[in-house]
Amino acid sequence: MTTEQAVAVGVEPRQQGARRGERPPWAQAKRLLRDPIFWLLAGAAIAHSAIHYAMYIESLRPMLRGLPYFNLHALHQVEFLVIIAAAAHRFRWKGGAVMLAATLVASVPYLLTPYVFGRAPSPNELRDRGIEVVVMLATGAFLVYLLERVAVQAERAQHAWRERQATLNRLIALSTVSQTVRGALGVSSTVSQVLRGIAAHVHGRAFVLYLYDASARTMNLAAGETPGGPQATRVHIVKVDDSLSRYLELPIALFHRPALPPSMRFFGDMLAPWGMVFHAVTPLRFADSLLGMLVVSSDQRPIPKEDVALLSSLGHIIGLAIHNAQTVEASSAAGPQPDGSELPAPLVVAGRA
C-alpha cells in the first residue's frame, strides 16, 4: 500500500449551544430583564426621582415635607452614590453612566426648590445647590471610573491566566501525542489518540483528517453522521476538481458555506444543520500526497494563531506517524527481514484499491 491510499480518520465533535460572539441586542435585553439587581436599582432610582418630582404637586407637599427622610439632603446624596456605585459594579461603566444621568434628572427639582415652592431664591441659594449637585455627580463619576479600572484589571489578569493555561494545555497535548506516536505505529490507533488529544485541548470544534492524493486527484475523508451520534466513522472518497485543488495548495484554506467547492458540497450538506464554518489546515506534504486537517467550528471568528500552530504541529506528528506506518507496511509486503522476522503491518482504516 502506498501514499495514494487513505489514512485513518475520525471525528470527535463538541457541541456548543451558542456562538462565542457578542449576544444580539434582544438577548442582552432579555437577560437584563431577568436580573433582579437591575429591577432593584431601577426601582430605587425611580422611587427617589418620583419623590423629588412629587413636590411639583401641591397637594402632596405637606405630606412629603413632613417626612424626616425628605429633609436629610446628605442621606439623599449617599443614596444616589450607592445606587451609582452598585450599577457600575453590576453593569460596568454603562450602568454607572445611566445612573449618573438618572441622578442628574432627579436633581432638577432640588436645584429649582425656590421656584417649586413659589418663592424667590435667597442669595447664593441656586449657586450652592448647583455646587452640591456637581460635587455629587463628580463623586459618582469618580466611583464609576475606579470600579471600571478594577474590573478591567481583573479581566486582564483572568485573560493572562487563561492564556497561560491554554499554552500549558497545548504543550501537554503535544507531549501526549508525541508519546502516543512513539508507542504505536498503527495508523488507526495513532490518529485516534491524536484526535482525542486535539479535542481535549482545543474546545468547541470538530476535527476531520484527510489525505489528498495529488496524482490521483482524490481526497479521502471521514466524518461522523451527527454531532451527538455514535462515534462510528464513515469514509468518503471524493474526486477533487480544479477549484478544490487550488484551495488545497494553500497553507490554510477557509471554506464558507454556500461558497464550497463542488467536491465539498456533500460534506457541507452534512454539516449544514450545525451552522458551522470550515477551516482546512494543510500542514504537511509528502510524496504526491497532502495531509490536512479540516476544522469545523460553530465560532465564526478565525481560529487563534496559537491553535493553528498547535494543529500544524500535531499534523506534522500525524504525517510522520503515517509515513512510518506505510514504510513498515511496504517493508512487510516486500518479504522477510534479514534476521528472518517480519514487521507487523499496521492497521489502515479506509482505503482505496
For the chain, residues classed under CATH 3.30.450.40 are: 204-332
Which residues touch 202 (CB under 8 Å, ≥6 apart)?
Answer: 173, 307, 310, 311
Is 299 within 8 Å of 204 (Cβ atoms)? yes
137 vs 141: CA distance, rounded Å: 6
For residue 211, with 0-12 CB atoms within 10 Å meaning exposed, 13-18 middle and 19 or more buried, which class applies?
buried
pLDDT digit string (tens) for the chain, length 353 residues: 232 232 333 333 333 333 344 456 677 777 878 888 889 888 888 888 888 888 788 788 777 777 776 667 777 788 889 999 999 999 989 989 999 999 898 888 888 888 877 788 888 888 888 898 899 999 999 999 999 999 999 999 998 888 887 777 777 767 766 666 665 455 555 556 666 656 665 555 555 556 666 666 666 554 433 344 444 444 556 666 676 666 665 544 444 445 555 555 655 565 555 565 555 555 555 555 556 666 666 555 666 667 667 766 766 666 666 666 666 666 666 655 555 554 444 333 332 22
What the block records as the C-alpha cell of 84 is 451609582
Q: Give 82-91's long-range contacts (Cβ < 8 A, gap of 24+).
A: 83/41, 83/44, 83/45, 83/48, 84/140, 84/143, 84/144, 85/140, 85/143, 85/144, 85/147, 86/37, 86/41, 87/41, 88/143, 88/144, 88/147, 88/148, 89/147, 90/35, 90/37, 90/38, 90/41, 91/38
Q: DSSP class of residue 123?
A: T
204-332 architecture in CATH? Answer: 2-Layer Sandwich (3.30)
